Structure formats: C-alpha cells, structure tokens
Structure 1
Amino acid sequence: MGTISALLFDFGGTLDGPAHWLDRFLGSYSAVGVEITRAELDPAFDHATRIGYGATRVVARFGLTDLVRFLVGHQFEYLRKSGPDQLRARLDDSGAAGRHRLVEAVTNSFVRETSAGLAHSRKVIGPLHSRFKMAIVSNFYGNLDRVLGEAKLDRFFATVADSSRIGIFKPAPGIFEDALKKLQCAPQSAAMIGDSLSKDCAPAHILGMRTVWLCTEPRCGEDSAAADVTIRSIDEVAQLQW
C-alpha cells in the first residue's frame, strides 16, 4: 500500500459527534421530556430525511439550526399521525403553539450537541490540514457547505461531495470517485474515515482506499474485512501511522 496523501471524511456521526443522527435526535427528544423509543422514532427520522433529500432547493440555503428545525418539524408531523398512541395524544393536546415549543426545544438540544462535536473536530482536523489533502463525502441535504462554514471547518477541505448536490448517494462508488477526482488523488493514496461499515468503509475498500471505521459501540470488537483500522474517537485519526 502506497503512502496516504489524502483523507476523506464522512460528516454525520463522524465529524459532528460520535453518534448517528437518529441516536442524537433520540437523546434530544428525551432531554426535553418526550419519551420515545429508537424503534418508534426511526420511521419518523426516515420520513423527514427523505423529505429533506427531496427539498434541496429549499434546504440549500439553510444553516445547521434551520436544517434541524426543518427535519424535526417533519418528524413531529409524522409522529402526530403515525406515532405511538400516547405521543400522538400528547401532540394533539399540545396544540400548534405547544408543538412549536417542542420542536424548538428538540432543535436547540440537537444543535448544541452537534455544535460541540464540530468544535472538537475543528481542533483535530486543523493540524492534519498541513499534512493531507482532505475532502468530505456525505449523504447530506445540499447545504453541507453552509454548515461547514458556520463551524469554521470549510477552510480545511479542498472539496465537499454532498450527495444532494451531485445526485449520488453512498454507498454508490460515484460519490467517492467525485471527491477523489477533485482532489486529483488515486484511491490507493487515500483513506476514508467514517462511522458506517456499509456506507463508508465497504465501498471505499472496494475502490482500493484505506478504510478507517469510527465505532463507539460494543460491536467495535468484531472483525470486518471492510475496515483496515477501527478507532473509537475522531481524536485517533491524528495518531494513525500511514
């Protein structure tokens, strides 16, 4: 394996905090007193995500807070119609004003946690900028450049492959190839860092990239052919010996 000269990062769950967005939303719901299980929130999360992917022209102008508010609003719409009975009753009884307050509370909780994760990653990414060409490869909503700009992370990345902008979603290889082409880098000289084996590591591995799996769950001990290296914190990227 040749020398690594480029690092490609996933965004959600990798650079913005050590957890999948669904799990962070679940924590934010709980933090504001809305009790719901992961299985109950999952279809609402998927529903809002699909709407977001289909609304790129609108979402493209959003920063992080407006994006999260948009997603939470659509999650609540789904839960009010198809959520667990007790929650549906609560949302109906709350009225429009009460639901709005809950949406804002969940949004603010999620954004606080995400902003803290981004601030931490900025400290990690900064020193790497002088050593590697860097890019982001993310299934996102068309506004990742704005989110990175708000977090003062944009200056570190030579290119951003935002799936909704280029019309290719992970795990399709084309989104990785788009980033590599813009970096003018061969796959063998690049490493992909992400929290998903199936969407980040597996397709990158097939292309010939080195793969780093960011995993903070107990299953991290399991072997995976798709991951060359397993790390438990984004901090460990700076310590890897290429």
Structure 2
Amino acid sequence: MINKEKVKALAFDFGGTLDSPFMHWMQIYLQLYTTKLNLPLTVENFRDSYVFAEQMMERLQLVKPTHSLLETQMFKTRLQFDNLLDRGILPDTKDNKECIPEEAARLVTDYSSAYVIRSQKTLKALSQRYTLLLVSNYYGNLKKVATDLGIATYFSSFTDSTLEGVRKPDATLWKLAIERAGFIPEEVIVIGDSMKNDILPALSLGCQVIKGCPSIGDLSEEVNCITSLEELLQLLDS
C-alpha cells in the first residue's frame, strides 16, 4: 500500500513509462516495423540490432541537447538498419539504407508523441498536487524532448543519465534527482516500467514505488501496479 500521507513528489521514468503503454521499446520498434513497414523481422533477428543501436547511441554521443525527438530517432533507426544490413537480415538496397530508416524514425516519433499527448491531462492534474521529477536513461536532450512534447512545464527537474554520467540501474540517478529537489526517499513515489532500472533501485533508496505494466496479466503481487497512467490518480485517491 502507498503511504499517501508522506508523499510529496512523484519521480517518473520517461522511456517506456510516459511515451508508451508500459511496453519495452524493442517490442514497439518490432511491432511498427513488422506491421507498418512489412519487414521480415522477429525478436530473434532484431534484438542484436536494437542492442547495437542503443550501445552506439551512448558510445558515439551523437545526440546534442538541442536535438528533437525525431532527430534522436533518426540516429537510432539508422544505426539499427545499418546493423540489420551488415548482418544480412535485410537486403543491402538504397531504400533500406536511406528511405526506410527515415520512415521508421517518423513512425516511432509519431507513436511516442501520440502516447505522451494522452498523458498530458493526468500529468497536469498530478502536478497540481505533487512535485514531479523526470528521471531517465536518455541522450542529453531529455528536457528538449519533454518541451517539444508539451509536458516539460509539469516537471520541476530533469535528470538525464548522459548529462549526469551515471545510468540506471545505478540508484545514484534517482538519488540525485530526489536530493536536488529537496526531498528524502520516503517522500517520493518512483513510477517506472522496469523492475531492474526503476523499481528495485528506488526500493533500495527507501522510496515508495508504482510499476507500470502493459496488461492485467503482467501485474505483480510484490509492488503496486498500474496498467495506465490514468490509474495513478485513482490509486493516489483511494
């Protein structure tokens, strides 16, 4: 149960929590690529390319603080498709090198944007009652992306792993956000979709937690869970 009397702040993860229905982003890419672009991809043949792109995004530091969500996705999808071509999963054609990665980036950006827009009403209501913190493994442009998506005004701070030089699951990222905002862990609820990156690190600090789950079948008996962001209001009011 949530000890609502102590709660003063809500600390949100971003990717997989505010920009999708609590789904891992590899699943979302795969879903869009197979249903919208009709690409012959599976979890087995796409996973390595997804991981490769994530690692290279961090290593190459291509993203600047001024880059938009679309520009960020352009870097990522090009890395994914370069790897898919190098591994022979997709044929080495001009379309697969240029046109389709760009189309993929736009598809992913539209998907993410549409979901964040759905979150605005709930975030606005929550921001009127609590201090909201945004904490994410991101690329240095978390605040820019949140601003472009129309949710930045609801958050009092943005803690971006690239700017801080520390990544979740290291609990230090959550600790930095909480301490800078002037709270102690007991006063903060951490909301995230990942047990490894969000929930367990938050519990280790002494925070309260709420895990986002894609469906009722994914609910955990170990922690408080929601299947939509709107359920946060109900849970905190109950």
Structure 2-normalised TM-score? Answer: 0.92
Work out the number of aligned pairs and report it.
Answer: 232
* Residue identity matched to 1:46: V
Deviations 1:20-53, CA, capped at 9 Å, x for gaps: 2111111221111212012221111111111111
Aligned counterpart for 1:28 among listed residues 16, 29, 32: 32
SS in 2 for 1:213: strand
Equivalent residue for 1:135? 133
Equivalent residue for 1:50? 55
Q: What's the offset of the Cα at 1:57?
A: 6.0
Query: Which aligned segments of 4 or more residues in structure 1 are displaced greater than 3 angstroms?
Result: 55-59
Q: What's the offset of the Cα at 1:55?
A: 3.4
Task: Measure the CA separation in 1 of the matches of 2:85 and 2:37.
Answer: 17
* Residue identity matched to 2:81: F
Structure 1 residue 169 and structure 2 residue 167: aligned?
yes
* Residue identity matched to 2:207: M
Task: Measure the CA separation in 1 of the matches of 2:195 and 2:187.
Answer: 20
Equivalent residue for 1:12? 15
Q: Are 2:9 and 2:130, in contact at CA under 8 Å, matched by a contact in 1? A: yes
Task: Measure the CA separation in 2 of the matches of 1:46 and 1:218.
Answer: 28
* Identity between Structure 1 and Structure 2 (%): 28
Equivalent residue for 2:118? 120
Structure 1 residue 72 and structure 2 residue 77: aligned?
yes
Task: Measure the CA separation in 1 of the matches of 2:62 and 2:75.
Answer: 13
Task: Measure the CA separation in 1 of the matches of 2:219 and 2:68.
Answer: 36
Q: Are 1:40 and 1:83, in contact at CA under 8 Å, matched by a contact in 2? A: no
* Residue identity matched to 2:232: V
Q: Are 2:213 and 2:219, in contact at CA under 8 Å, matched by a contact in 1? A: no
Q: Are 1:4 and 1:190, in contact at CA under 8 Å, matched by a contact in 2? A: yes
Listed as ranges, the matches of 1:57-206 within 5 Å are 58-84=63-89, 87=90, 90=91, 92=92, 94-95=93-94, 97-206=95-204
Task: Measure the CA separation in 2 of the matches of 1:179 and 1:219.
Answer: 32
Equivalent residue for 2:46? 41
Counterparts in 2 of 1:40 and 1:218: CA distance versus 1, 3 Å: farther
Equivalent residue for 2:234? 239
Q: Are 2:81 and 2:96, in contact at CA under 8 Å, matched by a contact in 1? A: no
Q: Are 2:63 and 2:141, in contact at CA under 8 Å, matched by a contact in 1? A: no
* Residue identity matched to 2:10: L
Q: Are 1:44 and 1:76, in contact at CA under 8 Å, matched by a contact in 2? A: yes
Q: Are 1:52 and 1:59, in contact at CA under 8 Å, matched by a contact in 2? A: no
Counterparts in 2 of 1:82 and 1:57: CA distance versus 1, 3 Å: closer
* Residue identity matched to 2:42: T
SS in 2 for 1:54: helix
* Residue identity matched to 1:237: L
Task: Measure the CA separation in 2 of the matches of 1:59 and 1:51.
Answer: 14
Q: What's the offset of the Cα at 1:219?
A: 4.9
* Residue identity matched to 1:208: G
Task: Measure the CA separation in 1 of the matches of 2:217 and 2:88.
Answer: 30
Q: What's the offset of the Cα at 1:151?
A: 0.7
